[in-house]
Amino acid sequence: MKITRDQLRRIIQEESESLGGGLEPERESVVLKIMEIMKNNSLSGEHGLFSNVDNKDEFEDLVRYIFQQVGFDNKMLGSIAMSIAKDFLERPDDAAMMSKFNH
């Protein structure tokens, strides 16, 4: 099943709105909820939609879209992107595992 960009945008927006009410959830619980939604909607995983991203331009567009949806200001986003890029450049073999969610 192929999901269009608009469908992905709708799923992310709906789930983001569902997290917005009441007390602010802890960071880890939000990330775990997003990961669960991505898996349940065939976005992540071995045969998920993310596995169809097969070139630099598509990946950049996806990352920029995610960054925009988070809502941080651009300077903070730039700092985050540089930190992640530094990890991947300096330690390419284990940079992905620096996230507690990639184990």
Residue 29 is predicted with a pLDDT of: 82
Residue 15 lies inside a defined structural domain of this protein: yes
Report how far residue 97's alpha carbon sits from residue 70's, in angstroms, rounded to the nearest whole number: 22
Report how far residue 11's alpha carbon sits from residue 66's, in angstroms, rounded to the nearest whole number: 12
Residue 102 lies inside a defined structural domain of this protein: no
- The whole-model pTM stands at 0.63
**pLDDT tens by residue, 75-87:** 999 999 999 999 9
Residue 7 lies inside a defined structural domain of this protein: yes
Residue 97 lies inside a defined structural domain of this protein: no
Residue 59 lies inside a defined structural domain of this protein: no
User: pLDDT-derived band of residue 23, with 50, 70 and 90 as boundaries?
Assistant: very low
Q: How many domains does the chain have?
A: 1
Domain ranges, residue 4: 1-54
Residue 64 lies inside a defined structural domain of this protein: no
Residue 79 lies inside a defined structural domain of this protein: no
